[in-house]
Amino acid sequence: MPERIGSISELRSAYREHRLTPAELAETVLEGLAGRAGEPVWISTVSAEELRTRAAALTDTDPQTLPLYGIPFAVKDNIDVAGMVTTAGCPDFGYRAAEDAPVVRRLLDAGALLVGKTNLDQFATGLTGSRSPYGSVESVFGGGLVSGGSSSGSAVAVAAGQVAFALGTDTAGSGRVPAALNGIVGVKPTRGLLSTAGVVPACRSLDCVSVFAVDVAGASEVLHAARAVSIADPWGRALPAERFTARAPGTLRLGVPRTVDLEFFDDAGQAVRFAAGVHRLRELVGTVRQVPLAPFLAAGDLLYQGPWVAERLAGLDDFLRTHPEAVLPVTRTVLETGRRYDAVDAFRGRHRLRELRAEVDRWWQEMDVLVVPTVGTTFTLDEIAEDPIGRNAVLGRYTQFANLLDLAAVTVPNGFTADGRPASLTLVGPAFSDTTLARLAAAFAEADPATATTSGTVVAPPIRHDGTPPARTEVLIAVVGRHLTGESRNAELTDLGATLAGAARTAPLYRLYRMPTPDGEGLPGLVRVASTAPDGHPIEVELWSLPASAVGGLLAEVPAPLSLGWVRLHDGRDVLGFLCEAYAAGPDAEDISAAGGWRAYRRAACKEGSPANASCIAGDPS
């Protein structure tokens, strides 16, 4: 198997310690390309002679003087490289670029070594990696899993260890979905921070150049080296000076989607991993609150169900009319829908987007970062072939709103499902929050080294080679209140096939509150306190075994301010369980932690004849 390329930091250390030279690295790169010859990751590569020549030119240069000295990289083939053909995934569209795109030129000037240009969904229209005449790209994890697109080749080249970083583009999620499905980091910067001059437009007003790397630090270094305003780019924007310094994670207010807005498309594995990721983030940030996703999702729907699809057509209309046979049928179908919209529709769409942005902006007054799943589920190439447009839309649910709402985003790995598929989450923030998002993303990755990548190597449990997952296991759920045996919402568990597995106590890290409800019974809420706080209590819980396939259904039924998260048990285990947002434990909530549990509190209330206990009054002494 070809040797993998290390991360940017590993290569830099090797150069500075004289354990590696650019010439030696070039040979490793060439061996890697030869070892994966025939795979549809690359559309074109520089010649071996050119790569060796560029590497040799660095020999007498001090590695300390160039930020990306000898770092090999790839470029998505809708970005111009002087002397190379830009195809945008369509051979008949191809042209030989006269000059480098500004973003490429800055990387070359920083000492990076260009390896070649990568495959993509044709005209950057798609999120699957399967819409290319150069071949469908499979995820680095195999099993028939799609690589994600449209920046499919760039993501796989990084995840497979052929290069240390790669450029993609991102209009609807093309720099995030492939990162998620290949277990790497994807940075979608604020629109305009990286110049889009010399990039074949997909939707010019929304397009971004994105960065793939194996870790957040590497992606951030590339972003810094490539960032500049080009006079050739009317869409360029500079990062304000006051945003150069990132805020510390502990000062941030994290927004978590309300459970009713989360859709995992019956994929319990992704639901469980997202809950785990949110649990880890809670330990890093200052405060957490639930927020509605509805205005974000509504904005995202405008991208393909509104006049912006006509903007996609605007840049390709002449070619599409004169070379219809050169465009893949699925790509042509998407682009041709742009003909449905006129100028009136365009203004109506802009007005609707402005309304949604105003609503979203109000939520940014109450949070600094929003966390979302990068994808709600995954698909195989065969599944995408069955419904190429519908399932493409599923992959874009949590990504396609970002550029319309002028947001920045960083996608990071979030472990693997029980059947070996990659999971991921994305941190989203307002325009120019890029450095703060990167700092939180790096802290998230460091908080769980098991999900991190090293040396460009991404390791996961095996996926079956026929693309079908093994039988899914059951998930243990800790319940603390109305879902307990005999309580009013216990049927929500039993109807989903859950069975009682036993009783337990939490670690002394929680407080239990009774929040008032119209029926007088009260809603119990378990709130985690800081691990260093002295006022945590062990709380009685029941453990229920739930089929993993039913987790998504249960999640959809959990009302705010409750959510599913990870609960630490007295024996040190972490299990999924019902938690309450801290904001709900306000002045009207009764702290019942000292009782040790919901049932114990109810028994005491019955004995005291408390009128607040409606169930006791009804004759339920439990």
- Reported as a pLDDT band with limits 50, 70 and 90, residue 467 is very low
Query: Is the CA virtual torsion 335, 337, 343, 347 positive or negative?
Result: negative
pLDDT tens per residue across span 9-20 = 999 999 999 999
pLDDT of residue 181: 98
Q: Quote the tokens at residue 195.
A: 């110049």
68-108 pLDDT tens trace: 999 999 999 999 999 999 999 999 999 999 999 999 999 99
Q: What is the pLDDT of residues 387-417, one digit of tens each?
A: 999 999 999 999 999 999 999 999 999 999 8
Pairing of strands 113-118, 185-188: unpaired
Helical segments of 431-483, H only: 434-447
Alpha helices in 428-577 (DSSP H): 434-447, 491-494, 551-557
| Residue 550 pLDDT grade (very low, low, confident, very high; cuts 50, 70, 90) | confident
Q: Mean pLDDT across the stretch 567-576? A: 88
Q: Is the pLDDT of residue 154 over 60?
A: yes
pLDDT band of 338, cuts 50, 70, 90 = very high
Q: What is the spatial distance between Cα 196 and Cα 210, in angstroms, rounded to a whole number?
A: 10
Mean pLDDT of 553-563: 75
Q: Which amino acid makes up residue 207?
A: D
pLDDT over 60 (residue 618): no
pLDDT for position 617: 36
Measure Cα distances from 598 to 288, 488, 511, 531, 622 in Å. Answer: 24, 13, 11, 22, 10
- Coil vs helix vs strand at 564: strand
**pLDDT for 559 beyond 80:** no
The 8-class DSSP code of residue 205 comes to: T
Give Dmax over CA atoms of the chain in angstroms. Answer: 88
> Are 120 and 133 contacting, i.e. CB atoms less than 8 angstroms apart?
no
**From CA 153, how far away is CA 166, in angstroms rounded?**
9
- Name the amino acid, one letter, at 337: T
- Alpha helix stretches (DSSP H) within 306-411: 308-314, 317-322, 329-336, 343-364, 381-386, 390-395
Distances (CA, A) of 295 to 176, 298, 301, 449, 527: 20, 5, 10, 34, 28
Three-class SS of residue 115?
Answer: strand
Beta bridge partners of 408: 429
Rounded mean pLDDT, 447-454 = 54
Mean predicted confidence (pLDDT) in 545-555: 75
Sign (positive/negative) of CA torsion 48, 49, 51, 56?
A: positive
Closest CA to 212 of 353, 41, 344, 392: 41
pLDDT reported for residue 339 = 96
- Is the pLDDT score of 615 beyond 80? no
Kindly give the interhelix angle for 216-226 and 102-109, rounded to the nearest 10 degrees: 110
Calpha distance 180→320 (Å, rounded): 32
Helix (H, G, I), strand (E, B) or coil at 326: helix
- Residue 531 pLDDT greater than 70, yes or no: no
What Å distances lie between residue 251 and 220, 245, 368, 450, 532, CA to CA?
21, 13, 9, 26, 18
pLDDT at 450 over 80: no
166-223 pLDDT, tens digit per residue, is: 999 999 999 999 999 999 999 999 999 999 999 999 999 999 999 999 999 999 999 9
Binning pLDDT at 50, 70 and 90, where does residue 554 land?
A: confident
Q: What is the pTM of this model?
A: 0.81
Active site residues: 76, 150, 174
> Which residue, among 80, 434, 117, has the nearest Cα to 232 in the 3D structure?
80
Residue 521: predicted pLDDT: 83
Q: Of residues 133 and 493, which shows the higher confidence score?
A: 133
What average pLDDT does range 133-140 have in this prediction?
97
In a 10 Å sphere around its CB, with 0-12 CB exposed, 13-18 middle and 19+ buried, how is residue 522 labelled? buried
CB count in 10 Å sphere of residue 253: 15
pLDDT in tens, 106-123: 999 999 999 999 999 999
Distance CA 74, CA 127 (A): 19
Place 610 in a pLDDT band, splitting at 50, 70 and 90.
low
Question: What does pLDDT average to over the chain?
Answer: 90
> Between these two residues, 539 and 560, which has the higher pLDDT value?
539
More confident residue, 494 or 469: 494
CA distance 546 to 319: 54
Of 31, 72, 157, 161, the closest CA to residue 456 belongs to 161
Average pLDDT of span 316-334: 97
- Torsional class of 21: left (φ above 0), alpha (ψ -120 to 50), beta (otherwise): beta
CA distance 40 to 238: 36
Q: Residue 412: beta bridge partners?
A: 425
Give residue 584's region: left, alpha or beta (phi > 0; psi -120 to 50): alpha
Helix, strand, coil % over all residues of the chain, rounded to 5? 35, 20, 45
Could you tell me where the beta strands, DSSP code E, fall in 119-242? 165-170, 185-188, 208-213
pLDDT band per the 50, 70, 90 thresholds, residue 470? very low
Report the pLDDT value the prediction gives residue 448, as an integer from 0 to 100: 67
Contact 89, 78 (CB under 8 A): yes
590 half-sphere exposure, CB direction, 13 A CA radius: 17
620: pLDDT strictly greater than 50: no
Give tens-digit pLDDT for 340-393.
Answer: 999 999 999 999 999 999 999 999 999 999 999 999 999 999 999 999 999 999
Query: What whole-number distance in Å separates Cα of residue 195 and Cα of residue 82?
Result: 16
